[in-house]
Structure 1
Amino acid sequence: MKEIYYLCGVFIKLVYRMDAKKILFIAQEITPYLPESEIATICRNLPQGIQEHGREIRTFMPKFGNINERRNQLHEVIRLSGMNLIIDDTDHPLIIKVASIQSARMQVYFIDNEDFFQRKATIADENGNEFEDNDDRSIFYIRGVLETVKKLRWIPDIIHCHGWMSALTGLYIRRMYADDPCLRNAKIVYSIYNDDFKNPFRKEFANKLKMDGAKDGDVKALKTDTSFTALTKLAIDFSDGVIQGSETINQDVLDYISTKKNTPFLPYQSPETYIDKFNEFYDMVLNSNKK
Structure 2
Amino acid sequence: MKNILFAASECVPFIKTGGLADVVGSLPKYFQKEYFDCRVVMPKYKAIPEKYTSQMQYITNFYMDLNWRQQYVGVFKLELDGITYYFIDNEEHFSGDQIYGGMPWDLEKFAFFSKAVLSILPVVNFHPDVIHCHDWQTGLIPVYLHERFQGNDFFHNIKSVMTIHNLKFQGIWDKESIKSITGLSDYYFTPDKLEYNRDANYLKGGLVYADAITTVSRTYAEEIKTPFYGEGLDGLMRARANDLRGIVNGIDYNEYNPETDPCIAQHYNVKNFRKEKVKNKLALQQELGLETDPKVMMIGIVSRLTDQKGLDLIAYMMDEMCQDSIQLVVLGTGEAKYENMFRHFAWKYDKKVSANIFYSNDLSHRIYASCDAFLMPSLFEPCGLSQLMSLRYGTVPIVRETGGLKDTVEPYNEYENTGTGFSFANYNAHEMLGTIRYAERIYYDKRRDWNKIVDRGMEKDFSWHTAAMQYQELYDWLIGY
TM-score range relative to shorter protein: 0.7 to 0.9
Counterpart pick for 1:162 among 134, 147, 172: 134
How many angstroms apart in 1 are the aligned matches of 2:43 and 2:194?
28
Residues 153, 221 of structure 1: alpha-carbon distance in 2 compared, 3 angstrom cutoff:
same
Q: Please, which of 191, 200, 204 is the counterpart of residue 176 of structure 2? A: 204
Q: Distance in 2 between matches of 1:199 and 1:189?
A: 18
Aligned-pair CA distance for 1:147: 1.1
Unaligned segments of structure 2, at least 5 residues: 251-461
Question: 1:280 aligned to 449, 461, 473, which one?
Answer: 473
Q: Which of 190, 194, 198 does residue 224 from structure 1 map onto?
A: 198
Letter in 2 for 1:77: Y
- Describe the shift of the 1:223–1:196 C-alpha distance in structure 2 as closer, same or farther (beyond 3 A): closer
Superposed counterparts of 1:83-98, under 5 Å: 83-98=62-77
Letter in 2 for 1:121: Q
Distance in 2, Cα, partners of 1:269 & 1:189: 16
1:23 aligns with 2:23: no
- Equivalence map 1:4-23=2 (5 Å): 20-23=1-4
Contact 1:59–1:109 (CA<8 Å) still a contact in 2?
Answer: yes
Aligned mates of 1:57, 1:21 — CA distance in 2: 8
Confirm or deny: 8 A CA contact 1:97 1:111 kept in the other structure.
yes
Correspondence for 2:158 among 183, 186, 194: 186
For the pair 1:244 / 2:223, whether they are aligned, the reply is no
Q: How many residues align?
A: 256
> The residue matched to 1:111 in structure 2 has which SS?
strand
In structure 2, what is the equivalent of residue 99 of structure 1?
Answer: 78
| 2:97 corresponding residue in structure 1 | 120
Contact kept in structure 2, 1:65 and 1:117, CA below 8 Å: yes
Structure with the bigger RCO (C-alpha within 8 Å, sep 6+) is 1
Moved more, 91-100 or 199-208: 199-208
CA displacement at 1:89 relative to structure 2: 2.0
Q: 1:64 aligns with which of 45, 52, 57?
A: 45
Q: Which amino acid aligns with 2:96?
A: R
Question: What is the rounded CA distance, in whole Å, between the counterparts of 2:171 and 2:471 in structure 1?
Answer: 31
Once the two structures are superposed, what CA deviation does each residue of 1:226-279 show, in whole Å capped at 9, x if it has no partner? 3xxx33222111011100136756523355222125x52211414132111111
- Distance across 2 between alignment mates of 1:153 and 1:200: 33
The 1:214–1:109 alpha-carbon spacing in structure 2 relative to 1, beyond 3 Å, is farther
Gaps of 5+ in 1: 1-19, 125-129
SS in 1 for 2:31: helix
RMSD over aligned Cα atoms = 2.7
Q: Match for residue 236 of structure 2?
A: 256
Q: Give the aligned partner of residue 235 of structure 1.
A: 206
Q: After TM superposition, give the deviation of residue 131 of structure 1 in Å.
A: 4.3
SS at match of 1:201: strand
Aligned equivalent of 1:47: 28
